[in-house]
Structure 1
Amino acid sequence: MNSSGIKLAYLCAVLNALIIGFSFVFTKIALEFAEPLDTLTFRFAASFAVISIPVLLGRVRLNYRRKKLHKVLLLAILYPLGFFTLQSYGLKYATSSEGGILFAFTPILTVLLAFLFLKETTTLLQKLSICLSVSGVLFIFIMKGSRIDWSNMTGIILLFLSCLIMAGYNVLARRLLKSFSPAEMTYFILGIAFLSFLSVSLTGHAAAGTIDQLFSPLASGTFIVSILYLGIMSTLVTALSSNFALSRIEASKMSVFSNLSTIVSIIAGALLLGEEVRMYHIIGSALIIAGVMGTNLLGNKWEEQVLHRAKAG
C-alpha cells in the first residue's frame, strides 16, 4: 500500500472529524424548524440526490454484479438507520451531554470488536493513547458540570447501543471495503437510508393528516442551508471520507479520530454561537490530540524499534 494512499486516508479521517464537529451546530438550527425524523428525511434526500448526479452522468461507475449486497444492507441497517434511530430516541430520555460522554467510548468499543472480528491488534501504547483521547472528552464534559444520570437508564442504554452500532459499522465496513469501492458502498447505504426515512416520515404525516407540515420548513432559507450542510457535507462527504479511510487504515485507528469532533464543536460554538472557550477546553483538547496521535503513531514498528534500542544499549 503506497504512502500517498495512507496520507490521504488520514486526511480523510481528519476531514471527517472537522465536518462532524460543525454538524452539531447545524443540527441544532435545523431542529428549530422540523421534527427529528423530517430533518433526517431531508438530510438524506440531499445527500442521495447529490451523489446520484455523477452516477447518472457516468462519472462514477458502480458495479454490484455478483457482490453480496445483503451484507451492505446490514451495514445500512447499522448506520445510518440503527444509529440515528437509537440516538434520536435515546436523546428523548437523556441529555446531549450524556450522549457526548457515551459517544466518547466508541473507539474503545471499536478496538474490542475489531480484535474479535477482524483480528486487529493494538499495542499497549496504542490502548493507552485511546484511553487518553477518551479521557480528554470526559474531562471537558465533567468540567462543564455534565454527569450521567443513572436514573435515565432507558436513554443511557439506547445511547450506548448507538455507540456500539457505530463501532460495529467501523468494523463491518472495514471488512466489506475489500469487495466494494467506497463509492459503491456509500451510494447503496445513502439510498437505503433515504427511502427508509422518507417512507416512515410520509406514513406518519399521512396518518396524522399533516403532510403540509413535512414541507413547510422548506420555506426557510436558514433551514435549507442547514440541511444542505448536513446532507452534503455531514452525510455524503463524511460517508465517502470515512469509507475511504477505513479501506486504507485499521478500524481502531480510524475510530479514535471521532473524538476530534469534540474539539471542532468547541471551536464552532465559539465562532458561530459566541460560546466561551475556557482553560479546561484547551487541556481536554490537548489530551484528545495527544491520544489520537499516539494511537496512530505508536504502533508495532515503533515499539519494536524502542525495544531494539533498549537491547542494543
Structure 2
Amino acid sequence: MGNYLTSRITAEKHVHVKTLKNSKGRPDVKFHDLPEDVLCAILSKLPVKEAVRTSVLSTDWRCTWTACPRLSFGVNDVCKNVKMKHQHTQMFIDRVNAVLGKHCGRVVDQLEIKFIFESKLVDHLNNWIRFAMSTHAKNLAFDLAPPSNLLKYGDHYRFPFELLDNKSISCLACLQLSFVCFKPPPADFIGFPNLRKLDLHVVKTTRQDLESILCSCITLEWLSIVRCHLKDEMKVVLQPLSQLQYLKIMHCEVTKIEFDAANLSTFVYDGPYIPITLHHATKLENAKFWFRGAVFQRAATSLLNGLPDVQNLTLQLGMQRLEVFYIGTIFELWFSM
C-alpha cells in the first residue's frame, strides 16, 4: 500500500493549455496553466502531508489537492520527531481526519489506511469506513498489522459489516484487510455483489463466517488469503465462485481446501500437506504448491487426482522440487534440489 494521493487522469474532452512562447521560441507553459487533472497527477506523486502543503502556494492552489480521488495514509504521514506512542497515534488520527474533512462532498475512489492497530483507533476506523461508504468508494484497504510479533498485539480490529449500506457496498470493487476480525454479519447483509478483488491477511475468523462472506462475492475474480488460521476446512462449494480466476492460500492453518471455481486459471498454496480439491477447474493453467511434511508419492498422487485439468504444476517438498508440464496427454518431469 503506497503512501500517496493518486489521481486518475480523464481524457473525456480536450483541455486547451496556453501555448505562449518564450524568447527562445519554446512553449512557455506555467504550472498554474495546467489542467486540474494534470495538476492532480503531479500531486499524486507526493505524500499526503506534502500534497496538503501545496495549498499555501496561492489562492488557486488552496483546494487543488482535494480533487485527488485516491487517498492513502500511513506512518510516514506522522512527524518522525514524535517519540511517545500515544502522541504518534493522535497525530495520525488528526491528520487523517483533517484530510477527509476537506474531501467531504468530493469523489473518493480509494481509501487506504496503513497503521498499527490499537484500541484507540476503533471509533476513528469506523468513522473512516463511514466516510468511504458515503463517497461510494470503489477500493478500501485497511492494513493494521504490526511488522512482527503478531501475538503480542492482542485483539484484532472487528470489521463493521453493519456500516456497509446496500447502495455503498454495491460500489465496492476491491477490499484489502489486514489484522482484522470477522464476526457474523447482520441478517440483512447483502454481501459484496460487485467485489472483484479480496485480499485477506492475518484475519481472525471461523470457517462458517468466512464461507458466508466468500459465498456472497459472486463476481470475485482475485482472492488471496494469507495467515488466516481457521483450524478447520476451507470450503466454498455451496455458492460457486464462477468468476474467480486467481486464488492464493498461504500459511493458513486449515485441514482441507475445497473450492468450486470453473474459471480458475492460477492457484497458489503454501503450507502443510492437506487434501485440495478444485471442482470444475477445467481452465486451470498454473498451480504452485509448497508442501511441508509430506511424502512425495502421496502428495503428487493427491494433487493429480484433485487437479486433473491443470496444465502447469509446480510442487516443492522441503528442498526437492517437481515441475510437471502437461501438453495434451504427454507430460514431462523436472526435479531440482
| Higher normalized helix content (fraction of residues) | 1
TM-score normalized with structure 2 length: 0.18
Higher Rg: 2
